[in-house]
Amino acid sequence: MPRKMVVIFGASNILWMVFAVSQAFKIDIFPESKIIAQIGDSISLTCSTTGCESPSFSWRTQIDSPLNGKVRNEGTKSTLTMDPVSLGNEHYYLCTVICESQKLERGIPVEIYSFPKDPEIHLSGPLEVGKPVTVTCLVPDVYPYERLEIELLKGNRSVKTQDFLEVSEMKSQETKSVEVTFTPIDEDIGKALVCQATLHINEIDSQPQVRKTTKKLQVYISPKDTVISVNPSTSLQEGDSVTMTCTSEGLPAPQIFWSKKLDNGNLQLLSENATLTLIAMRMEDSGIYMCEGVNLVGKDRKEVKLIVQAFLRDPEIEMSGLLVSGNPVTVSCKVPDVYPFDRLEIELLKGESIMKNKIFWEDVSKKSLETKSLELTFIPTTEDTGKVLVCLAKLPIDEMEFEPKQRQSTQILYVNVAPRDTTILISPSSILEEGRSVNMTCSSDGLPAPKILWSRLLSNGDLQPLSENTTLTLTSTKMEDSGIYVCEGINQVGISRKEVKLIIQVAPKDIRLTAFPSESVKEGDTVIISCTCGNVPQTLIILKKKAGSGYIVLKSTDGAYTIHRAQLEDAGVYECESKNEVGLQLRSITLDVKGRESNKHYFSPELLVLYCASSLIIPAIGMIIYFARKANMKGSYSLVEAQKSKV
């Protein structure tokens, strides 16, 4: 900075004449009037004389302070140099010259100022729209500051003007400042902030010292309106790529940082580019991605959630067992290897109608493939056969731009019915004559159609399988074929059983009716009337005696009837009848009882074993008739034998 020296000429010129001197002896001083110098400058005061051959010079200040300068005398000239000018040079300087007996004196005031630097503008912080900021305008090393005026302007408008009139005791250079607090608005962007300092050195002279600093208002805007655009979608499939672009408004333009939120809450920086591209994504890449716009004055964040779906397999339908009409069955629909399962929806449908659905609301922080399932218990009916059971899994997508992803499995229902209503038809009858054929036909309802199994029930309770045909035919039956036959209707889900009792009979034949010891006995003898059967099982043997127009049934034991001490009235026709479902045989004999004169003839009973070949004799039923013997009965009956046979 060039040094300045202000030299003021004019009315303030002062001349002291201490002595009246001759015209010839004169004193001059240069500069002639007041000198105003800035601290640090170099100034010289020159005193010169005329009319004296060897003048003697001396310098002093009016109040006899130190000169603070260097004096050089050269002939008729004396120079006082102040270099550099300091506060100690602010004096009225006097030059005295003595020539022999004459003495002349001239004086000059030296005024000092300090105003070395332009003002400084300081801000309390970055300028942000809406945020108060304090502007300080600082003017360093000023003297005399009571003449200083500082004005602060924003744009072309004065914001504040201040002067510093209070006078200090001590001379010193001081730094003075002005402070203004204001809140920037959008319109302030680009305006100039001006700090103007004026030092009025001389009130009379209107040439003040002015220094000015201009600062363009650099207004900042904290990042805001951070926006993320995602292409193609935040919902992705494994292997997909995604490009995310982030923008953020602010002044200066924010820098963009992309990071990913880790499970532990920390952030992992991914990129400092506005555009982030992720390729070949995997399920583990699902999560929250964060874009941050950052500039000097702030930051703004925006998050986006990416879901990389894994939906690797179709749902699986499983039944707890075969479907049986009327039996509860549990069907489960499993969705294996799915991610994420948050908002996974599983639906079970029968035909068009939804039987059950479930939405899984779960924490997505766990990044693993899981199997989710839906279970339902229902009671199938035969009407369900042929209907389609559908298990549908839907994985919704965040944005509505895509249909939810879905997969389904189907199964056609087949409802089984356990065998029931098993019936047996026997042709011609369950009781047959030996040698005839019989058809036993079995049927059973069920789904699938039951298989028929014919067996015979053995005496130990076991079943002896005979046929898997519906009709069991026995040709030329024998008595041993009699017994219990079992038909079973069998399918996967059950057995239904029906029994039938088959009876094979033989018509009675070879019936023999005898009287022992003879058909002709004497009164008092013991007679045994006995009926034996050759072949007949279950034969009802009935012993009868003809009485009048009817018969009297006799109480017989094993077909034998014993007459102790036969009387005359025991004579008569005895008949034996053997009958079953397939035949009838009759035999009859006539017992002749002869009267005797004396009672000397006794019957000596012999033990006779009467044996009936059949083990199946049915004991005679009917009434027991007791005939009291009548002692006075006389006479005899003629023997008549009649025989009838009917098969």
With b for 16 or more beta-carbon neighbours within 10 A and e for fewer, the 167-177 pattern comes to eeeeeebbebb
Min. distance of Cβ 286 from ligand NAG in angstroms? 22
Task: Kindly state the smallest distance separating residue 408's Cβ from ligand NAG, in Å.
Answer: 43
Distance of alpha carbon 358 from the chain centroid: 10
Cα 623 to Cα 553: distance, rounded to the nearest angstrom:
7
Rule CB under 6 A: choose which of 437, 464, 492, 636 binds ligand NAG.
Answer: 437
Contact status: 243 vs ligand NAG (CB under 6 A):
no
Among 74, 272, 284, 499, interactor with ligand NAG by CB under 6 A: 272
Query: Which x/- pattern over 147-166 shows residues binding ligand NAG (rule: CB under 6 A)?
Result: ---------x----------
Tokens of 51: 């009319």
Q: Minimum distance from CB of 487 to ligand NAG (Å)?
A: 13
Question: Given the complex with ligand NAG, which of 207 and 476 has the nearer CB atom?
Answer: 476
CA distance 411 to 322: 13
CB of 174 or CB of 433, closer to ligand NAG: 433
Least distance to ligand NAG, CB of residue 471, Å: 6
Can you name the residues that pair with 395 across neighbouring β-strands? 405
Residue 161 vs 437, nearer CB to ligand NAG: 437
Q: Where does this chain touch ligand NAG (CB under 6 A) — which range of 43-51, 328-336, 436-444, 591-599?
A: 436-444
Count, residues near ligand NAG per rule CB under 6 A: 13
d(CA 545, CA 70) in angstroms, rounded, equals 195
For ligand NAG, the closer CB: 213 or 467: 467
Residue closer to ligand NAG by CB (options 431, 540) is 431
Helix (H) or strand (E) holding 235: strand 235-237
- Closer to ligand NAG by CB, 275 or 643: give it: 275
* Nearest distance in Å: CB 494, ligand NAG: 23
Residue 439 within binding range of ligand NAG, rule CB under 6 A: yes
Phi, psi of 430 (to 5 degrees): -85, -10
SS3 state of residue 177: strand
The Cα-based distances of 23 to 20, 48, 51, 76, 251 in angstroms read 9, 15, 8, 17, 79
Token code pair at residue 414: 């087949």
Provide, rounded to whole angstroms, the least separation between the CB of residue 473 and ligand NAG: 6
Burial class (CB in 10 A: 0-12, 13-18, 19+), 361: exposed
Angle, vertex CA 258, rays to CA 253 and CA 262, nearest 5: 150
CA distances from 63 to 66, 88, 352 (A): 9, 12, 119
Cis bond upstream, residue 254 (ω within 30): no
When binding is defined by CB under 6 A, the residue of 330, 427, 557, 645 that contacts ligand NAG is 427
**Contact range with ligand NAG by CB under 6 A, out of 18-26, 136-144, 199-207, 270-278:** 270-278
Q: How far is the CB of 464 from ligand NAG (least distance, A)?
A: 13
Please tell me whether residue 232 binds ligand NAG under the rule CB under 6 A.
no
Residue 273 binds ligand NAG, judged by CB under 6 A: yes
CA dist., res. 594 & res. 607, Å (int): 23
Catalogue the long-range contacts made by 22-25 (C-beta closer than 8 Å, 24 or more residues apart). Answer: 22/51, 22/102, 23/51, 24/50, 24/51, 25/49, 25/50, 25/51, 25/52, 25/99, 25/102, 25/104
Measured distance CA(507)–CA(646) in Å, rounded: 10
Residues 6+ apart with CB under 8 A from 207: none
Q: Nearest approach, Cβ of 194 to ligand NAG (angstroms)?
A: 8
CB of 283 to ligand NAG, least distance (A): 24
Quote the tokens at residue 39. 């601290």
**Could you say which of 12, 65, 473, 492 contacts ligand NAG (CB under 6 A)?**
473
> Rounded CA gap, 311 and 318, in Å?
19
Q: Is 465 in the site for ligand NAG (CB under 6 A)?
A: no
Give yes or no for a contact between 326 and 309, defined as CB atoms under 8 angstroms apart.
Answer: no
Residue in 44, 430, 467, 526 binding ligand NAG, rule: CB under 6 A = 467
Show the binding pattern over residues 501-530: x = contacts ligand NAG (CB under 6 A), - = does not: ------------------------------
CA angle 58, 59, 60 (to 5 degrees): 130
Closer residue to ligand NAG, CB minimum distance, 469 or 645: 469
Check if the beta carbon of residue 364 is closer than 8 Å to that of residue 344. no
For ligand NAG, the closer of residues 272 and 401 by Cβ is 272
Instruction: Give the residue, chosen from 271, 385, 406, 423, that forms a contact with ligand NAG under the rule CB under 6 A.
Output: 271
Q: CB under 6 A: which stretch of 54-62, 216-224, 466-474, 602-610 binds ligand NAG?
A: 466-474
171/216 with CB nearer ligand NAG: 216
Please, which residue, 173 or 259, has the CB nearer to ligand NAG?
259
To the nearest 10°, the Cα dihedral for 515, 517, 520, 521? -120
358: its two tokens: 């479930």
Among 469, 518, 636, 643, contact with ligand NAG (rule: CB under 6 A):
469
Q: Judged by CB under 6 A, does residue 187 bind ligand NAG? A: no
Alpha carbons within 13 A on the beta-carbon side of 49: 29
Which strand ranges, in their side-by-side order, compose the sheet holding 451-457? 431-433, 494-505, 483-491, 451-457, 463-467
Dig out the tokens for 202 from the structure: 């001389």
| Minimum CB–partner distance for residue 427 and ligand NAG (Å) | 4
Query: Three-state SS for 184?
Result: coil
Which range of residues in 71-79, 235-243, 277-285, 433-441 is near ligand NAG by CB under 6 A? 433-441
Q: Of 170-178, 265-273, 313-321, 501-509, which segment contacts ligand NAG by CB under 6 A? A: 265-273
Q: Which of 82/217 has CB closer to ligand NAG?
A: 217
**Residue with smaller CB distance to ligand NAG, 65 or 427:** 427
Pick from 386, 428, 595, 619 the residue near ligand NAG by CB under 6 A: 428
Residues within window 547-576 making contact with ligand NAG, judged by CB under 6 A? none
Binding segment (CB under 6 A) for ligand NAG, from list 200-208, 289-297, 467-475, 551-559: 467-475
Distance CA 170, CA 148 (A): 17
Output 94 or 291, the one with its CB closest to ligand NAG. Answer: 291
- By CB under 6 A, name the binding residues for ligand NAG: 156, 192, 271-273, 427-428, 437-439, 467, 469, 473
